[in-house]
Structure 1
């Protein structure tokens, strides 16, 4: 019956067409069918997925509604022709398609298990098939089509992303988004064997650098973003040691994001998008081994738990162990991440995530001093902490996280989403800090922060939000609106630590066997924060969808409590609480003179976090403000995305040391970051993929200490107006190119890249230089099929020339060393 209706529909639309017009229409259909487009369609209803394909291609779908009722698809991600997209989307559904043409449109006809002729008793004339699914070149053995197919386990995602939900909290095409956002895909992480989040985002995204800190922290557009990590849209407060084992992509949103995410740093935020269960069963086991005794075993498994595919599962896990190029340092990590997905009806879908992490390591906080105007001329392997303490009391970190998110499409174009996460972690550590360095003798004074002897501390983090999204029209204006609420609460109940001065060490001839006493008068500390916010935004499109105006605002209420006492009883009762409230607006404009090109601009203001002084009392919150403008383009048939952005970003209430009291911190500062960023990602053709970026950034103090003594500037490290912020190079960039062979060498992939960083000044006093450097990296991989298994062997070499470099610092005794040449081999089996 469905075939009869399909044929009748085709006949009706072609009746009466003269031969030349019909031929012209057929040619147009062939052109549409041959065009490669990018898709990012989640798993779910076939009907909704087909509607997305129809909208992107400007075609109409003709089918009986009953054919797609309760039929699910695994989704579609990547670059496809129309026919290849339909082949992938309909695989395993029992449905097929034919293409028909007329003078106006291309109609897609669905018929159950029918890819043959459509002649029947009705007399409708069958149309010749159009071969739209053929690939132009052979692909690597066991690999999907170029850059296109989501492939086994969603690994083959290409380097280019179409959308980034973090920018707008909506699935908005990047060219219609009036902010700068970059995405690191799963395929790029796999090609570079990026085990940590740092490996994945530093160099692959413009404007992102490392910075010394005990928690996961980076600089984005010159400003440190401690605590600005999000996972699936919820903050991971003060997270540590993030792994990519269960990460599908990483989105880096540039500039203030306070309107949607609350009290974040103005440079930007990082959102980790986790892997989701799939309907097609998939299993992967990977073994990696590398330099310094590194070994890592990881597992990825997914598939349905019920026959109707309404409940799916995914499990990611890893065990990691390595030594280091640094003396005494060892690192071990166990990570387990099961996930469940529920899709009982077409309109509702939910995910539940669990995570457990246990990490043990000998601390390697960067303690390397400057001698004269450069880092000390000592081996980068030299350990200047206290190994008798750090090896006998290694750092212990235990994390447990449970989270969920669900979305209900209660009306066409309207949905309600709720997310929630609860995280606890236990942390114990013994960290040594550098104090002052005798420039003539090389004797370094040190101090210790020790929570290990107290059994460590525990932190609790709770976050949730609700988003109502909808699309509607008012006259010539199309609206894409969002109203939301979020809440975050963190609590670190009273813990105690000791900060004794320990023995000094000669950096040229260290004596590691001095027994330092890790005890002193304890400090009892407690901290808590509560943030509540409401927000709304509307992306208004008009003038034939060429102009997009973003209007939005947010209001925050925040409480920050902190204490510091020398008696346990006092720590339970004496808290200082600061209350803050602020409004944060965001305005943006996008003009698209062509579908592949857009110009954008935005003005954004942010309301940042409180800081805590070393005296234990909260400081006023930081605030940020940004003006940004740029251009975005999709080139080479939308295979490549390019973004050029100019920004002028200021940050106020910057903490700075008190020159009259080393135990105190002042809030008198203002800093400015002004620069240019360029990012290019995607696939040049069937064989070549590319990642390229460049950053030009001037980051300096605008308003510093009102009075300071130049003679003591090095020791006090006071911020001075006009001085550069530490480790802020003016120019840096990265290029990574990958080649996938064809013909008799199909299955072979080669990749290589270079990272170039200009020299920078290493401290607030601008008293020493971090030399510039260039790093060369490379990879070779081979994929083949062995019976029903896809096997990939891969080798990555980082810092091929074994360059000595210093990627970041914060003062004259806290300089981070760069990793020397390393080899990392991998064998992955997928089935």
Structure 2
């Protein structure tokens, strides 16, 4: 029986398409509907085939050619606006093409690429799945989502995830765990957690290394509480790392980077089909990095590989097996900088008053994912992940807040031998249906985490050091003793959630859902369990898309926060976990067929059940109550995309009004630690698309921020600062390959700055900004 789709008359202008890779029959039906084409083909001809993704502006005939690419099929024009899809004839290298076969269609205007294409140069992304777990256009999502795509990561040569977050309003970073964890602040709330394709990775501010970037496709930042989809977290938001997936089109890239402070980094990216019918695809990413530092005694060596296989079992069923392996040899540097007599002592920013705290990390991640599409409306997917991390950490730190005679700083060393293993699975059922004039996208799902954590810390005294005339001595001068805070703990996290996205007439969209979260924690040594933490957290959002280019939205979201069971109450009962609520309103704009977008938002977050001193107990009793409260509110502006062909821009601004609003420790009214009042950034690039200078790219940007406090009310505030970055690159063709030479300059003016500080006398610390640095690159793609 022939498949046939009949529609109205066709105009041959460019049209906007957004058809994901799927069963070819479904993709052709969508194309016919969107392009007013009549397509004829035997149903069995396309029954087991999958389409290429189709995104961007194309002429209808060109769009049809893209969908059929690598399918073994071709389209033959048989009447006006009508094509017959049939098996492609065998290629005859010396004979002219048959006039009956559709000729190659050239792209009219600018090139448009699939989101996951290695050639994609878009700064703006139109849809994301992180906030709703459904691939929803951002203009129809009543949640603030900002995406940092691969084009930005490449232009800025991002090799540490937190460096990319300057491109998002409301995001700041610090130097957690001696610079060896991803220390993220979103809307003023500090978090040690990020996500990898929706899987939680929590460093707990331990020195276990930062996220590797070799296989990162893009970063998706959800602002505001995201507990409904992902469970326990801080209310400021989350960062989701989306990794590269296998592609049906072969692609290979080899990059060598070299830069200041003896940085050398080699990375490899290879993908393509392993079978003739594209049912088995692979991707392999890897990198090796060796670097010193502008800081004394600090260096690193990092190895990373990430293979992945995808099996397209049928047009509707897919199975993927993935792995990541990371081996890091690192140095912990806590940036100790004594604060004496009302100020930080005068010393060069390269000086390290500690010894080389060696850290070794080995992490193995294995994942199995499968999905099945029952029909065009209903689908199911499941993921399994095991993340196994072993580490040996040596921390060196100041051991006293005052100096000994002779300006000597007491020091200590902590040795931690630990493991942190996480096991995870999630199951999602998604369906689309209508009830009268209402179109629903329903999500039902659940997830389960098992976390096992073992640490065995020991500490000893190190030789003292003269802070003004340091002579390094790594000798241990006391016996090793147990640090007393190790443990062998486990936890189960169980979540069940439901969500409905409702599309109403007149551009109205309603998002509603809830999650039930259950958390049980226990000590494997004492065989004691903590009482269960559980809660129901809702999310409601409304959006009105007044025009194709303009949406107004608002949301109310509740959050399930971190556990307070470590605190001691006078009654002996555990304290409830932290909670939070957010109200947000905003508007979204999209211009030039989605190539340029902007979001303006105002949010108000209140976090409750923050641990504070029990005022009814003796001051030195250490008894606590969950009565503290913290507020964060302010406006945000995110602008990104292509203004003119080749000219890309990112501009951000945020104003943080963060305060402790309730507290029994004298902190009420204080600003939060390390959070500035104003932060802004501007980044722009220009890519020459034609003429003799074709392939030249230049760019630059500036990042600005106010000073921040340490949250203690001691009236110290770091100075505000601005840093300038530059980019220059040139790409050229060598046969069928492309070579790109690139140079980035960071902190061009060599500004001496400190992002944050913690005041504690001689043991104070402050995060030291990197001096002027250069990073060059040679990249071969074919």
Q: Distance in 2 between matches of 1:743 and 1:665?
A: 70
2:271 is aligned to 302
In the alignment, what sits opposite 2:695?
747
In the aligned structure 1, how far is the partner of 2:756 from the partner of 2:53? 42
Q: Does 2:661 match 1:672?
A: no
Answer yes or no: is the 8 Å Cα contact 2:446–2:497 preserved in 1.
yes
Are the counterparts in 1 of residues 166 and 703 from structure 2 also a CA contact under 8 Å? yes
Q: 5 Å matches for 1:583-732?
A: 583-611=536-564, 613=566, 620-655=576-611, 660=619, 667-705=626-664, 708=666, 720-732=667-679
CA contact (8 A) 2:560 2:579 kept: yes
The partner residue of 1:481 within 417, 438, 442 is 442
Between 180-189 and 518-527, the greater mean CA deviation after superposition: 518-527
Residues 130/722 of structure 1: CA separation in 2 closer, same or farther (3 Å cut): farther
Contact 1:282–1:302 under 8 Å retained in 2:
yes
Work out the CA distance in 2 between the residues paired with 1:436 and 1:80: 67
Alignment match, 1:50: 28
Distance 1:630 1:509, change over 3 A: same
SS in structure 2 at match of 1:329:
coil
Mapping 1:2-41, distance limit 5 Å: 29-30=11-12, 33-35=13-15, 37=16, 39=18, 41=20
Matched ranges for 1:495-514 at <5 A = 495-500=455-460, 502-513=462-473
Q: 1:572 aligns with which of 525, 529, 535?
A: 525
Q: Distance in 1 between matches of 2:30 and 2:298?
A: 52
> For residues 796 and 736 of structure 1, what CA distance do their matches in structure 2 show?
13
Aligned to 2:94: none
Q: What is the CA–CA distance in structure 1 between the aligned matches of 2:674 and 2:78, rounded to whole Å?
A: 61
CA change 1:769–1:333 in 2 (3 A) is same
The superposition leaves residues 84-106 of structure 1 with CA deviations (integer Å, 9 ceiling, x where unpaired) of: 5444333333444578999xxx7
- Separation in 1, partners of 2:593, 2:249: 30
SS in 2 for 1:278: coil
Instruction: Note if contact 1:82-1:133 (Cα within 8 Å) is conserved in structure 2.
Output: no
**Aligned positions of 1:162-201 closer than 5 A:** 162-200=126-164
Secondary structure of 1:159's counterpart equals coil
Matched, 1:289 2:258: yes
Q: Deviations over 1:300-320 (max 9, x none)?
A: 111112222111111100110
- Give unmatched runs, 5+ long, in structure 1: 15-24, 120-128, 138-144, 563-570, 709-719
- 2:413 aligned with 1:465: no
TM-score (norm. length: structure 2): 0.90
2:692 match: secondary structure: helix
Is contact 1:437-1:444 (8 Å) kept? no
The aligned residue for residue 235 of structure 1 is 200
Per-residue CA shift, 1:475-501, capped at 9, x if unaligned?
A: 1111000011111110113x3212445
| Partner SS state of residue 532, structure 2 | strand
SS in 2 for 1:169: coil
* 1:525 has 2:487 as partner: yes
Q: Does the CA-based 8 Å contact 2:700-2:726 persist in structure 1?
A: yes
Aligned residue for 1:684, secondary structure, equals strand
State the match for 1:420 in structure 2. 384
Does residue 827 of structure 1 match 2:775?
Answer: no
After superposition, what is the alpha-carbon deviation per residue over 1:368-419, rounded to whole angstroms, capped at 9, x for unaligned?
A: 34456665432111112234xx2xxx10000001012211101221001101
d(CA) in 1 for partners of 2:622 and 2:457? 16
Is the counterpart of residue 206 in structure 1 residue 153 in structure 2? Answer: no
Tell me the equivalent position of 2:92. none
Is the deviation greater in 61-70 or in 465-474?
Answer: 61-70
Name the CA shift for 1:440/1:632 in 2 (closer, same or farther; >3 Å): farther
Deviates more, 1:572-581 or 1:612-621: 612-621
Q: Do the aligned partners of residues 109 and 534 (structure 1) sit closer, same or farther apart at CA in structure 2, a change above 3 Å counting?
A: same
**Number of paired residues?**
755
Is 1:492 the counterpart of 2:461 in the alignment? no
Aligned-pair CA distance for 1:655: 4.1
CA distance 1:629–1:442, shift in 2 (3 Å): farther
Kept in 1: contact 2:600–2:638 (CA 8 A): yes
Q: Secondary structure at the match of 1:422?
A: strand
Q: Confirm or deny: 8 A CA contact 2:196 2:240 kept in the other structure.
A: yes
Q: Would you say the 8 A contact 1:74–1:278 is kept in 2?
A: no
C-alpha distance in structure 1 between counterparts of 2:470 and 2:123, whole Å: 47
Q: Could you tell me whether the CA contact under 8 Å between 1:373 and 1:768 is conserved in 2?
A: no
